Amino acid sequence: MKPNDDTAPGGQAAPTGAIDAPRASAPFTEAIRIRLKTPSKLRNLELALLVLALAVSGGAIALVQLGAIGELDQTVITYGTGLALIVIVMHLALRVVAPDADPFILPIITTLNGLGIAMIYRLDIAKGFEGWSSAGVRQMAWTALAMVIALVVVVVLRNHRVLARYRYLALFIGIGLLLLPLAPGIGQTINGARVWIAVGPFSFQPGELGKIALAIFFAGYLMTARDSLSIVGSKVLGMRLPRARDLGPLVVAWAAAMGVLVFQRDLGTALLYFGLFLVMLYVATGRLSWILLGLGLFVGGALIARDALGYVRGRFDAWLDSFNPEIYDAVGGSYQLVQGLFGLADGGLIGTGLGRGRPDIVPLAESDYIVASLGEELGLVGVFAILALYLLLVARAYRIGFTGTDDFGRLLAVGLGFLIALQVFVVIGGVTRVIPLTGLTTPFLAAGGSSLMANWIIAALLLRLSDTVRHQPRLVVDDDA
């Protein structure tokens, strides 16, 4: 090993950023060092990126005001300062409780959340909403609450492996949250889907939290059952098929997804739950047969539901024949889809400019169709920039999973990353008419407290997982030895 110029008393090398392993007779062991990362560098990088993210968010709100009302007022300072204070508190907390956490996750989410607030505020201006009646103010309040909950998760959960012990409890919680909207008295049907509960003046979508609980259960279950699911089975045409008794978890997950589709009339949530289990099953076993069997089950179930359920059939008709006047004007028809397509077409390559379009004429423009609203005013370039942020966020989650030190953490990180990726694909695919439209919301962008809270909890879990991964000392071979 290279001598160190800094020597301590007695001629011994003073400690630096690397700690030498004890010398042994073998030359290979002499070449091994343990390199310790400097956590402050990660947090300083995060702080620099947060400044850029806050500048983008504040600039978007300012452009909305200039484009929509032609002047700036105190709303820019209120919204911008409020978001900045919350984010900085989160950053300072990470310096203490998770100094090795991934430095890109929080800035990416801050940018997406800030752009969502700017577009929701822009729609409030178009509709004449002010104060607490405006969705923008409520979204700021939900953002603050979601970040506080995420901070509590990071502080309380110091070791993610603890979650594996409670995997069956997570299963019961997930199923309970999934079935809660069916309970009489508190369950609500909104826009044809029974996925909401109402307590007094507040409404909440418990399935958003249920997906996190089910991800924890899937990771814990597959951690223990992966060997029997991946090794045992007979080969057919070069592909190893699972045993009949090993198909039980897949059939149960499929039945639960079909139950959501039939009783809660929510195609998006059914696809999300089943897709999550299927991908985590494939990651745990590496067997393509699980994917093929799962896709066959879901496609078959969806085709049967299309013929048996009017709700699903209407979604397929609106997708396949959107510009048919009879379907366009029908209740639950393709009016929203077509208006969103016209808005995206009006935006073109560079958009009409923030505050200069007419996204408010699209139904649910602040929630289900916020991507179409952003596409109209930011154009194709802006949509691609947003997709790039999502791609980077999912890539960081997968990186955490692939560099993890335990099977549970790896599966959980990949599952959480896939939750975000699948939601984005389903929402944008529906808005652009690539797939039938569903009722999912775009993570961090769309208005809605339950979705925002669930996604911030996902972010907190990813931060905790990344801190655990980076905190592990790494053995590297010194090439100069």
Nearest to 109 by CA among 442, 466, 470, 468: 442
Q: What is the largest CA-CA distance in the chain?
A: 91
CB 178 within 8 A of CB 256: yes
Taking CA 142 as the corner, what is the angle to CA 141 and CA 145, rounded to the nearest 5 degrees? 90
Distance CA(18)–CA(34), nearest Å, equals 6
pLDDT along the chain (481 residues), means of 10: 44 42 45 52 92 92 89 77 86 90 94 94 86 80 91 89 89 85 78 74 82 89 76 59 64 74 76 86 82 83 80 84 82 84 92 91 89 94 96 95 86 94 93 86 90 94 89 51 44
Distance CA(216)–CA(214), nearest Å, equals 5
pLDDT at 35: 45
pLDDT at 265: 76
Please write down the long-range contacts of 394-402, taking CB distance under 8 Å and 24 or more positions apart: 394/418, 394/420, 394/421, 396/102, 396/104, 396/105, 396/108, 396/462, 396/466, 397/462, 400/102, 400/462, 400/465, 400/466, 400/469, 401/283, 401/465
Distance CA(463)–CA(91), nearest Å, equals 11
What is the total residue count of the chain? 481
Helix segments in 69-206, DSSP class H: 74-97, 105-127, 135-156, 162-165, 167-179
Element (H, E) at 12: none
Distance CA(7)–CA(15), nearest Å, equals 9
In this structure, the number of other CB atoms found within 10 A of the CB of residue 305 comes to 19
CB 229 within 8 A of CB 223: no
**pTM, full prediction:** 0.86
Element (H, E) at 338: helix 335-347
Joined together, the tokens standing for residue 281 give 């099953």
Residue with tokens 């179930």: 301
CB 445 within 8 A of CB 117: no
CB 270 within 8 A of CB 257: yes
pLDDT at 6: 46
**Helix axis angle, 449-471 relative to 105-127, nearest 10°?**
170
pLDDT at 394: 96
DSSP β-ladder status, 239-241 and 18-20: unpaired
Distance CA(19)–CA(344), nearest Å, equals 56
Distance CA(253)–CA(251), nearest Å, equals 5
In this structure, the number of other CB atoms found within 10 A of the CB of residue 243 comes to 12
pLDDT at 51: 94
